[in-house]
Structure 1
Amino acid sequence: MPMRLRSPLPAFEGVTEWVNGQATKEQLAGKPVLVHFWSVSCHMCKEGLPQILVWREHYGKPYDLQVIGVHMPRSEKDTDIAAAKAVIEEYHLEHPIMIDNAHAITDAFQNEYVPSYYLFDAEHQLRHIQAGEKGLKLVEQRLQKIMGSTNQEGQ
């Protein structure tokens, strides 16, 4: 059963390894958060990674959007941390990324799919879930809506 809208942002406990620094609740306080699940063996995930960079740049500075990746292995082969780090480097992913080999974060989010996107507002309530490569436009629309309301609240 997937997370329900308005559910709180789950804790990041049980992470196998953090890449690019650890995201803490204190750092994320009062900021909208996009959590992106992906896997090295997922071709569609890799196709969407450039869009994550665009969102991070476009919504990060003016709206303080925090992007956090979760590498969710789909097979034993996907648990190769060096392979995940190679993809992170290849696609220039500079935001915090959790390697979730034990599926602790995957289970906390009740996530089943890659790619998938979980968008939380500044109060860390879930506002949108999207799975699959076709959902990028829907995530973008929801980002615009949430960032617009975040911007208005800040004025």
Structure 2
Amino acid sequence: MRLRSELPDFEGVTEWVNGSLSKADLAGKPVLIHFWAVSCHMCKESLPQINEWRTKYEEEFNLKVLGVHMPRSEKDTDIPVAKETIEKYELEHPVMIDNQHAITDKFQNEYVPAYYLFDENHQLRHFQAGEKGLKMVEQRINKILTPKE
């Protein structure tokens, strides 16, 4: 997915956890989408940071955080295990379980963890993948987004 690409729709999600959202529900709000998998150790290490951002930046920037559980193997498609992980790491934001890779394909994503930051016009402003991506994502949140009034 190229910078300035539009936020794709969420059609084809296998199952939503913590409520579902559509693009219309996110109108006028910046969005951070994070891709992760239960079999990814680095992903699980980053989940507490995602929770912290959700709390901090939702208030400051009206940022909406959504997760995408992207299975990397057949074992990762076990929905109860994904739900247990969501509960264990206290992910309170909506999470898409993407067992058919419908969302993954729309984002042309190949990585976990991966982070896609969209501005309030739903244009992709930053993409980062890998374990060292967290610092860059937070810098971009602060640089790209403006506080809500």
Deviation at 1:76, TM superposition (A): 0.2
- TM-score where L is the length of structure 2: 0.98
Map of 1:111 onto structure 2 = 109
Deviation sequence 1:51-71 (CA, Å, 0-9, x none) = 001100110012110000000
Structure-1 separation of matches of 2:55 and 2:116: 18
Structure-1 separation of matches of 2:128 and 2:81: 25
Structure-2 separation of matches of 1:62 and 1:120: 16
Map of 1:101 onto structure 2 = 99
Deviation at 1:24, TM superposition (A): 1.3
Deviation at 1:26, TM superposition (A): 1.9
Counterpart secondary structure, 1:69: strand
Query: Greater helix percent: which structure?
Result: 1
Structure-2 separation of matches of 1:120 and 1:14: 20
What RMSD in Å do the two structures reach over aligned CA positions?
0.8
Q: Which runs of 4+ in 1 moved over 2 A?
A: none
Range with greater deviation from structure 2 (101-110 or 54-63): 54-63
**Would you say how many aligned residue pairs link Structure 1 and Structure 2?**
149
Deviation at 1:27, TM superposition (A): 1.5
* 1:37 pairs with 2:6: no
Quick one: percent identity of the two aligned structures? 72
Structure-1 separation of matches of 2:133 and 2:125: 15
Structure-2 separation of matches of 1:146 and 1:92: 27
Of 15, 21, 26, which aligns to 2:19?
Answer: 21
Give the letter for the 2:123 counterpart.
Answer: Q
- TM-score where L is the length of structure 1: 0.94
Runs of at least 5 residues in structure 2 that lack an aligned partner in the other structure: none
Map of 1:73 onto structure 2 = 71
Give the letter for the 1:85 counterpart.
Answer: K
